[in-house]
Structure 1
Amino acid sequence: MSMTLLQMIAVLLFAAGLVYIVTKTELTRLMTDRKWQHIVFGAATCVFVLWLFRISIHDGLIIHFLWLSTLTLVLGFRWSMLVGSFVLIMSTVIGNDTWQMIGVNGLIGVFLPIIVTYAVFSYAFHRIYRQFFVYIFVCAFFPGALTIALKMLGLSAYYLADGIFTWDVVYYNYTQMTILMIFPEAFFNGFSMTCLIVYKPDLVATFSDKFYIDGK
């Protein structure tokens, strides 16, 4: 099956973004820092396994948890982009996603959630009082809800724009499910970050006792 024009444009943008991120990331850290090695590959494995669990009410309309807000807070912006893209590519290789959709899935399903999460985190860090519960609810819980909503609404718009599905099919079998996914995704990310910060704060790149706990 050949790609549509929108799919080809999405592939080019996704590839260009990925190349740019690679050139700005110190990849040698994976070879020299054993702890970082474990964190990165552990995070990639967790996200990959999570993405294996998916449902489809209508053929071609796939719904699954993202967990990308947690990934972003744990690894930081650039590494989460690389790991998220790697997981997407592996998911496509094993046949869970199609090669025609890899650009669209990369832009809407990986880049967009990570960019939004990091933007919220950056805004909260510089503009909002830094405190433990602010970090959990504003930087993890809220972005979790926001990213799944933006991803599903973004894909809904794409399916309609590219003529892949009709409005009735997209709306009743995919878009409406957004409401049901918002709270579970938000809770999953908030709960994950709470556990990591309480028990393994050294694994979270964006969290420091100095800013969020000491003297509060």
Structure 2
Amino acid sequence: MLLNLLVFFAVAYLAFDKSTLRLLMTEKNKQHLLFGYTALLTILWSIQASIYDGLEVHFLWMSACTLFLGPRLAIYAGFIATLINCMLGSYQWDNAYMQLICGVCIPALTTYLVYVISYHKLPRHFFIYVFICGFFAGALSICLKMLSISGILALTGQYSWELVFDNYLILLVLLAFPEALLNGMTMTIGIIYAPSWVRTFYDEQYLDDK
């Protein structure tokens, strides 16, 4: 319980930013996006298959959340969704810190890192943005999430490597493509119908003269 509290407070503190908070307070559009994404993540994460305690299988959708909201607000959306799912019993309180780090922070930061690298190193094109930042980052995020959870549980002695691999990591191949597709399709629809909602997408750089 103490570890959970320390991790939750640390994440909340490190993700806090005055300029982001000011933006959230002044723009209702950002508030609606944050609360909407929080509700959707809560519902999505509650639909899961629990193999063993701590080894829950579900889609993340954090890559699209990060691209829409930015990394800080995406982490807060995942933070709140994790808390709610713990209260509802979808997550075990004992493993809440692990879900927050591996299922929220790592995917959000990974997606933003992929976005930054692609922005500076690759041609700024609509399809590159969708496939690299949405599709590829989505697949990479769920892979890193499952690998990091497996490592923590195996290294702490909760489960053996054999059990984790045979019952959890083996599903990685089945989840990577659907997760990538979910995030890629979300970004495509978002850019087409509501580009102003996507914080990391700029029409003049990704669409003009392309």
Cα distance, 1:14 vs structure 2:
4.4
Aligned match for 1:161, one of 155, 158, 180: 155
Aligned 8 A contact 1:30 1:37 in 2: yes
Where structure 2 has 5 or more consecutive residues not aligned to the other structure, the ranges are none
Where structure 1 has 5 or more consecutive residues not aligned to the other structure, the ranges are none
1:63 partner letter: V
Which residue is equivalent to 1:47? 41
Which residue is equivalent to 1:94? 88
1:149 partner letter: C
Which residue is equivalent to 1:33? 27
1:70 partner letter: A
- Measured against aligned partners, the alpha-carbon deviations of 1:173-214 in whole angstroms (never above 9, x if no partner) come to 101111111101001100111111111111111111111000
Alignment of 1:1-216 (within 5 A): 8=3, 12-24=6-18, 26-58=20-52, 60-216=54-210
2:46 partner letter: L
Question: CA 1:187/1:100 → structure 2, altered by over 3 Å: closer, same or farther?
Answer: same
SS in 2 for 1:78: helix
1:158 partner letter: I
Percent identity over the alignment?
39
1:172 partner letter: D
1:103 partner letter: Y
How many residues are aligned here?
Answer: 210
Aligned 8 A contact 2:54 2:95 in 1: no
Question: CA 1:55/1:78 → structure 2, altered by over 3 Å: closer, same or farther?
Answer: same
For residues 24 and 124 of structure 1, what CA distance do their matches in structure 2 show?
A: 27
2:65 partner letter: L
RMSD (Å) for aligned C-alpha atoms: 1.7
For residues 13 and 60 of structure 1, what CA distance do their matches in structure 2 show?
A: 16
- Measured against aligned partners, the alpha-carbon deviations of 1:88-127 in whole angstroms (never above 9, x if no partner) come to 1111111111221121111111100100000000011111
Cα distance, 1:17 vs structure 2:
2.8
For residues 185 and 164 of structure 1, what CA distance do their matches in structure 2 show?
A: 27
Cα distance, 1:12 vs structure 2:
2.6
**TM-score, length-scaled by structure 1:** 0.91
For residues 11 and 130 of structure 1, what CA distance do their matches in structure 2 show?
A: 41
**TM-score, length-scaled by structure 2:** 0.93
For residues 101 and 25 of structure 1, what CA distance do their matches in structure 2 show?
A: 32
Aligned 8 A contact 1:25 1:79 in 2: no
